[in-house]
Structure 1
């Protein structure tokens, strides 16, 4: 019984240390950028040792990937929370898109996911991360629209998902640069309506 308690507390300590490293790295990657953030800065920010960092992550890039993955998970959760199927396919897609833009407005998130992420990890790895999170949610919304009879079965869902995802990313970048969100939200809703109207 005592051993189990020790194991559990070790696991909890491990998870806590990992979370502290990811949080510290996130702050620095946002503030200074990936290239300008050194591992000694990260461990100092986290109040940990370099040994602790390398116990959890083989290098800075692996830690960056963990930060990006966590951000992508957070975005996906906001999309999922805002777009239950009870809304109907069109409203779920629109609300999910609005939730994506709101989630991307979190300070530093656009830089992590849309600028530094592809530059550091490469397009292939970022696509894989997107496919596990926001893009997966978008594809599920489009599949739901097909099943509901609101979207043509003849349309290539994978290609359509990528194209719409790119439009959402472009809107997030524009808003992050200071553009008015309302225009992009209206434009994306019109884009969704146009897609749903296709035969």
Structure 2
């Protein structure tokens, strides 16, 4: 019994140390950026030893990878919550999800981590892999569902996902720099609605 309690206690301490490191790193990356943040600063902010950091993470890039993974997960949760907030079509879910995305990306620190430093530090291919692993690739799945339901035209899914993702990311960057989110949502809605299939357009008119 004592041995199980000791193992549990050690596990709790390990998890608490890792959480402290990620919280400290996230704050520093969000405020100062990846390049201007050092591992000694992360260690000091977390209140742990340098050895503790290297016990959990190989280097600063590994810390950043863990932080950005959590950011992708948080954004995906907000998109899923918004998309499922009320019943409707697959296209409606995409439009609601776009609102969830911009709401999640209203955090300027998150924009810096995901859209500015992320591509430079990890590269687009790794970010796409993190996106698929943490969010179940919400945009691609939403577009696929809308196509399967006959609500939008059949288009090459991979290319459409990449182009729509770029539009969403560019909107988030623009809003973080002072643009009106309502205007960007209006444009995103118009683009999504322009994808409607002929059958869906006929249903709207009838």
Shorter-chain TM-score category? over 0.9
Residue 144 of structure 1: CA displacement? 1.5
Partner of 2:75: 75
Partner of 2:143: 142
CA contact (8 A) 1:150 1:196 kept: yes
Partner of 1:110: 111
Q: Deviations over 1:132-178 (max 9, x none)?
A: 345800111112212322123x3111111111111000000000011
Whole-Å Cα distance in 2 between the matches of residues 111 and 64 of structure 1?
12
Residue 12 of structure 1: CA displacement? 2.0
The question of 1:101 aligning with 2:102 is answered: yes
Unaligned runs of 5+ in 1: none
Unaligned runs of 5+ in 2: 200-206
Alpha carbons of structure 1 residues 198 and 7: separation in structure 2 relative to 1, 3 Å: farther
Q: Deviations over 1:98-127 (max 9, x none)?
A: 100110112301110000011111122112
Runs of 4+, deviation exceeding 4 Å: none
Alpha carbons of structure 1 residues 135 and 159: separation in structure 2 relative to 1, 3 Å: farther
Matches within 5 A, 1:119-198: 119-133=120-134, 136-152=137-153, 154-197=154-197
The number of residue pairs the alignment matches comes to: 198
Partner of 1:23: 23
Whole-Å Cα distance in 2 between the matches of residues 198 and 17 of structure 1?
56
Matches within 5 A, 1:19-58: 19-58=19-58
SS of alignment partner, residue 28 of structure 1: helix
Whole-Å Cα distance in 2 between the matches of residues 133 and 165 of structure 1?
16
Which of the pair has more CA radius of gyration?
2
Whole-Å Cα distance in 2 between the matches of residues 60 and 112 of structure 1?
14
Partner of 1:5: 5
Whole-Å Cα distance in 2 between the matches of residues 66 and 163 of structure 1?
26
Whole-Å Cα distance in 2 between the matches of residues 94 and 134 of structure 1?
17
Deviates more, 1:174-183 or 1:29-38: 29-38
Residue 11 of structure 1: CA displacement? 1.8
CA contact (8 A) 1:83 1:92 kept: yes
SS of alignment partner, residue 179 of structure 2: coil
SS of alignment partner, residue 12 of structure 2: helix
